[in-house]
A and B are shown apart, each in its own frame.
Chain A
């Protein structure tokens, strides 16, 4: 009996030893030198692997950071400025400060505002629907509402609102990685500067049709009338192709444009109620 055990131990040890020797030489032969700083940088990153930086994952981003001589074009939107300062510290480089951003869905074509003109009955993804035709409503620029952005989000930060049929961003969770921006075939989602208290003012429309056509398709469409552009004192608003755009980097949240918009296409979020003299009632998107 004891002999059997002995043989077993000897055989197994011999196999183990041989394997160890082979592995040692193999490891020597195929050794790849890696900059140890890559691991350090990777450690400083959030590890979400979302691809928001434009690289395949955090590892690839870390490699790029180590390889480059400056961090001008490299930014991790998830970690933000703090994270980039850490990375810069490790590499002895200068980090670029960027304003934190948040995703905003630029369509307010709820079922009520934008009547349906037909019914889609294909595979329910936005990508397929928009490859087939313009959409279920008269507005060819508006949201399909099949939630490609929702499935693209790794952070559970965007959800469909079943009542409006539109996606809504949860600001606290959004890291501005841009996955939803790429997923939206209608190009409706924009990364905008994050203001304190979650405040934002934006044109919730992407309709480039002429005023009449746009209005017919959707009650809250931007008709490109240009009133907001005139009203804005900070040159933050531009009109192109019958569509207004508010540059969030220039916007000072004065709310003047909101009051002049005849179709309520400009939306203000998380502001205190206005003082008496404001008459037009706003649709406020609850977050």
Chain B
């Protein structure tokens, strides 16, 4: 025989799915929301996205090539994904150099310092985002509004910031609500905010696509959003004038983006469905707590990072249901 036979342990067939394909499926799921962000915030949104993606890939390549001296993996799709998610978490007016710093922190500290893809404890994009938010609070919280609605690129506060500010000043909810965009506007994406916070419906669509292609499971998003609704619902039922209603919480800020794309990051979420539900519930409760009582108007990034830290613990204690019962 001219060519030698191959011998390997079973199984001898393999699914045609791969880590790279998964990454690109997530990217694909994000495309509609990305397009919408360009439509809403103009060419600036595209600028931010491109810089973030290019910077993430470049930093991954450079750090692996020159500092870690390992094989470079910058094309495996994960750096691109981190770049897009990073861009989705910042306002479109952000200067380029802050994006670069964010990308460096996301890739360098958030991912590669832990040992690269698969070993990071925290979601890299969120590490970058939170770093930028704390270091450059002004630039990170100036939100250009919808360029389509006439008032071109005038900065305004996000609905969450408005509600927080007004509540602090003693206004009851019933007086604040008329000042805010309607639920329909928020669903469709006619509100100010970060790139990816614009349209809830497109994010949900992307999420459904990922669910269909089995990139994610329902556990994390449903658990995050469900616990947000339940927790904020309880508060709202206790005092509907002191707390915003659950629908409002669900549709504003990064709730959808966080629940569907950030919390479901495979690397930084638990392995089992049960674990993911616990993980998601933690995120929901912490998010609402920060939104209601914390210093920041929006808290889902912090909530996800906090729960990321619990993932190893959850994985240790939440075991899948064993066949034949526990020993």
**Chain A 98-125: CB-based contact to B (< 8 A → 1; otherwise 0):** 0000000000000000001111111100
Q: Given the complex, which residues of A lie within 8 Å of B7, measured CB to CB? A: 118-122, 132-133, 136
CB contacts (< 8 Å) of A117 on chain B: these are 4
**Cβ B8 vs Cβ A120 within 8 A:** yes
Interface string of A128-154 (1 = CB under 8 A from B): 100011001000000000000000000
A121–B4 touching, CB < 8 Å: no
Number of A-B contacts (CB under 8 A): 26
Task: Tell me the bound Cα distance from A118 to B9 in angstroms.
Answer: 14
Selected contact of A122 from candidates B4, B5, B8, CB within 8 Å:
B8
In whole angstroms, what is the CA distance A117 to B5 when docked?
8
Cβ–Cβ < 8 Å partners of A122 in chain B: 7-9
Q: Decide: A116 and B4 in contact? CB cutoff 8 A.
A: yes
* CB-defined contacts of B8 to chain A, threshold 8 Å: 120-122, 132
Q: How far is the CA of A123 from the CA of B10 in the complex (A)?
A: 11
Residues of B contacting A119 in the complex (Cβ-Cβ under 8 angstroms): 4-7
> CA–CA, A132 to B8, complex, Å?
7
In the bound complex, what is the Cα–Cα distance between A117 and B8 (angstroms)?
Answer: 14
Q: How many whole Å from A140's CB to the nearest CB in chain B?
A: 13
For B5, what are the chain A residues with a Cβ–Cβ distance below 8 Å? 118-119
From A118, A128, A132, B4 is in contact (CB under 8 Å) with: A118
In contact, B9 and A128 (Cβ under 8 angstroms): yes
CB-defined contacts of B9 to chain A, threshold 8 Å = 122-123, 128, 132
Q: How far is the CB of A41 from chain B (nearest CB, A)?
A: 38
Residue from B6, B7, B9 having most chain A Cβ neighbours under 10 A: B7
Q: Using a CB-CB cutoff of 8 Å, which residues 113-154 of chain B contact chain A?
A: none
Distance between B289 CB and nearest chain A CB, rounded to angstroms: 31
- With a cutoff of 8 Å between Cβ atoms, the chain A residues found around residue B6 in the complex are 118-121
Which residues of B are found within 8 Å of A116, using beta-carbon distances?
4
Q: In the complex, which residues of chain B have a beta carbon less than 8 angstroms from the beta carbon of A133?
A: 7
Among residues of A, the one whose C-beta sits closest to the C-beta of B5 is A118
Query: What separation, in Å, do the CA atoms of A128 and B7 have in the docked complex?
Result: 12
Looking at the assembled complex, report how far the CB atom of B76 sits from the nearest CB atom of chain A, in whole angstroms. 21
Chain B residue at smallest Cβ distance from A116: B4
Q: Which residues of B, 4-61, contact A by the 8 Å Cβ criterion?
A: 4-9
Closest to A120 in B: B7
Name the CB-closest residue of B to A115.
B4
Report B44-100 residues with CB < 8 Å from chain A CB.
none
Whole-angstrom CA separation of A132 from B6 in the bound complex: 12
* Cβ-closest chain B residue relative to A136: B7
Q: Which residues on the A side are within 8 Å of B4 (C-beta)?
A: 116-119
For this complex, 15 residue pairs linking A to B, each with C-beta atoms less than 8 Å apart, are: A116-B4, A118-B4, A118-B7, A119-B4, A119-B5, A119-B6, A120-B6, A121-B8, A122-B7, A122-B8, A123-B9, A132-B8, A132-B9, A133-B7, A136-B7
The residues of A with any CB-CB pair to B shorter than 8 Å are 116-123, 128, 132-133, 136
Contacts A119-B5, A120-B6, A122-B8 supplied; 14 other A-B pairs, CB < 8 Å: A118-B4, A118-B7, A119-B4, A119-B7, A120-B8, A121-B7, A121-B8, A122-B9, A128-B9, A132-B7, A132-B8, A132-B9, A133-B7, A136-B7
